Amino acid sequence: MTGRFEPTESTMSHAVNFDYTHFLSESSREHWTFTQALHAQISRWRRKTIEEYDDFPSEAFLHSVSGTLSAHYSDVSNLIRLIDEAKKQHITALNIMLPYALDDSELDKIRRRTRCDIVQHKGETEWLCVAMKTKNAT
């Protein structure tokens, strides 16, 4: 996962890339104990202070989503959680690398739940380009 800090004249905005394929690959190797699973669930309920990383906002983003996403949840659920966390961190653009294309009903559900503009790019590598809507947008 990479990220960069992109200042604009009016606001500071963040564009972050997230490799969901890598997340799935890594999480499939994990074998959690009951205590680890319980700890992960509790961390979802409790918001922790996110550290500021001036040069790499993706580091703070990765830290915040590490306890939120799970291979035990559906892809749609994980992607909604990922986008919601990006919004909380004022990330304006999120590129999500996928292992495969999502179908139209999955994309529609994510769009409805997140209220974001989402474009799926298909090709050698599948990925979603998510643009967070600003409060001024109609």
Q: What does the alpha-carbon distance between residue 21 and residue 27 come to, in Å, rounded to a whole number? A: 10
Q: What is the DSSP letter of 15?
A: E
Whether pTM exceeds 0.75 = no
How confident is the model over 72-76, as a mean pLDDT? Answer: 91
pLDDT one-digit tens code per residue, 97-119: 999 999 999 999 999 999 999 99
**Alpha carbon distance 40, 120 (integer Å):** 30
Q: What is the gyration radius of the CA atoms in the chain, in angstroms?
A: 15
Domain boundaries defined on the chain: 2-30+49-131
> Could you tell me the CA-to-CA distances from 118 to 8, 20, 38, 43, 72 in Å, in that order?
22, 16, 33, 28, 24
Strand partners, 117: 131
Nearest to 23 by CA among 56, 61, 49: 61
